[in-house]
Amino acid sequence: MSIPMTSRARLLSAMHREIPDRVPISPRIGAFLTVYYGSSSWMHHLKAAQEFGFDLCLPVANPVPTFILSPSLSYRFLPPDVRVTQQVEEQDGGVRVRRTYHTPAGSLSDDTYLAPPGREYGVSPSPVKHETLIKEPDDLDRLRYIMPDPTQPDLHDYFEIDRLVGEAGIVEMTFNPPLDHFLGDARGMTQLMMDYCLDRPFFDRQFAFFQDYGQRLLQSALEQGVSFIFATWYYGSLSAGWSPAIFRECFVPLMRQQAELVHRYGGLYHVYDDGKMMRTLGDYVDAGADVVETLTPPPVGDVDLAEAKRLYGARTCLKGYVDLLYVLKMGTVEQVRETVRQAIAVAAPGGGFILGTSDSIREGTPPENIRAYFETAHRYGRYL
């Protein structure tokens, strides 16, 4: 019998495509914890890892404020020569915010609706953009004035959480540029797709702007000692509407630049896509992803886990798979157990597999299903 590992060592072993003492169990569980504990903070993630017996792989917030996605009460990061004005009004039970940034190069404005509790979609309130920040090429020159300094990321919370989590898991820095919560919200997904077809120079210039910003931010974080990067690319997923050809032409080179930079500093590059990814899984691997998540199966996704393991298991760590909706939330205890058993049977041999979920376990998931998930993983996840 192998010597028991800490959760941190177990996750690292899998991420390096080695064989740990058992299959790491690391679901996304934040949405469930908001109801179960009343909070999904890092402290409650750590508490849940202890209660349910899983290996905490915890992405923490991007060090840059998500001011593009959603209006804020504070804009302390703005330089002295920029000011922001906001008009807030109640509308249809929610709040509509119109804001304008006044910069030396001209004004930028957007218009956002925030739905009331219970009427949003997704895990958290999803802002509806009636007007995006970027509407013309000159807006990129104005945007330079309001982007926080990428060479001075605020990483105090990251390092403090990492210290407190210790051997109980791995703490990753969430990294969104250039698309997720940056260009995808500053310009809008539909408009970006139209730009690709109707104004390719503008399309390319926008991505170059945010990729350059992201690379400088990423390098600053790596130089400060961040080792684990959680890079989200779900805005670039095929499920978001992009074609495989555009994905390979436009996004894969940017991922490769990110991965190469992370590897230059000895870090690990963890890619997250919660959409259909069977046709793009090899592209993520070729771009240099050390870990690929979420491997969502049908009907929501399209990943054949056995085939993914056969094709890419020797080149990357596979993470995720168990369907959060049709298995964990709506399925029976036996369905949960059988799905977990099958996932371990096909993906665990040879190492390089972390059992997870197709996204965050949702509120309303039966506790007996969640416990069956963890109990089955512990029972069948041992390497002999």
Query: Domain containing 238 — which CATH number?
Result: 3.20.20.210
Task: For residues 60 and 98, state if they share a domain.
Answer: no
Give the side-chain half-sphere CA count within 13 A for 331.
20
Task: For residues 116 and 242, state if they share a domain.
Answer: no
* Any domain includes 101: yes
Q: In the structure encoding, which two tokens stand for residue 293, read together?
A: 């998540």
* Any domain includes 72: no
Task: For residues 104 and 159, state if they share a domain.
Answer: no
Dist. CA 126–CA 93, nearest whole Å: 15
* Any domain includes 138: no
Is the sign of the CA dihedral 74, 79, 80, 82 positive or negative? negative
Dist. CA 95–CA 108, nearest whole Å: 20
Task: For residues 264 and 332, state if they share a domain.
Answer: yes
* Any domain includes 112: yes
* Domain range for 178: 7-64+148-380
8 Å CB contact between 230 and 15: no
Q: Model pTM greater than 0.85? A: yes
Task: For residues 262 and 339, state if they share a domain.
Answer: yes
Task: For residues 153 and 288, state if they share a domain.
Answer: yes
4 burial class (0-12, 13-18, 19+ CB within 10 angstroms)? exposed
Q: In the structure encoding, which two tokens stand for residue 316, read together?
A: 């990357």
Task: For residues 296 and 362, state if they share a domain.
Answer: yes
pLDDT digits (tens), the chain, 384 positions: 468 999 999 999 999 999 999 999 999 999 999 999 999 999 999 999 999 999 999 999 788 877 888 888 888 889 999 999 999 999 988 899 999 999 999 999 999 998 887 654 555 557 889 999 999 999 999 999 999 999 999 999 999 999 999 999 999 999 999 999 999 999 999 999 999 999 999 999 999 999 999 999 999 999 999 999 999 999 999 999 999 999 999 999 999 999 999 999 999 999 999 999 999 999 999 999 999 999 999 999 999 999 999 999 999 999 999 999 999 999 999 999 999 999 999 999 999 999 999 999 999 999 999 999 999 999 999 997
* Any domain includes 25: yes
Task: For residues 122 and 197, state if they share a domain.
Answer: no
Task: For residues 89 and 48, state if they share a domain.
Answer: no
Domains in the chain: how many in total?
Answer: 2
Task: For residues 286 and 351, state if they share a domain.
Answer: yes
* Any domain includes 196: yes
8 Å CB contact between 337 and 273: no
8 Å CB contact between 354 and 14: yes
Tell me the CA distances in angstroms from 317 to 42, 162, 202, 294, one per residue in order.
24, 22, 36, 11
Task: For residues 127 and 21, state if they share a domain.
Answer: no
8 Å CB contact between 378 and 339: no
* Packed helices 367-380 and 333-347: angle between N→C axes, nearest 10 degrees: 30
Task: For residues 304 and 341, state if they share a domain.
Answer: yes
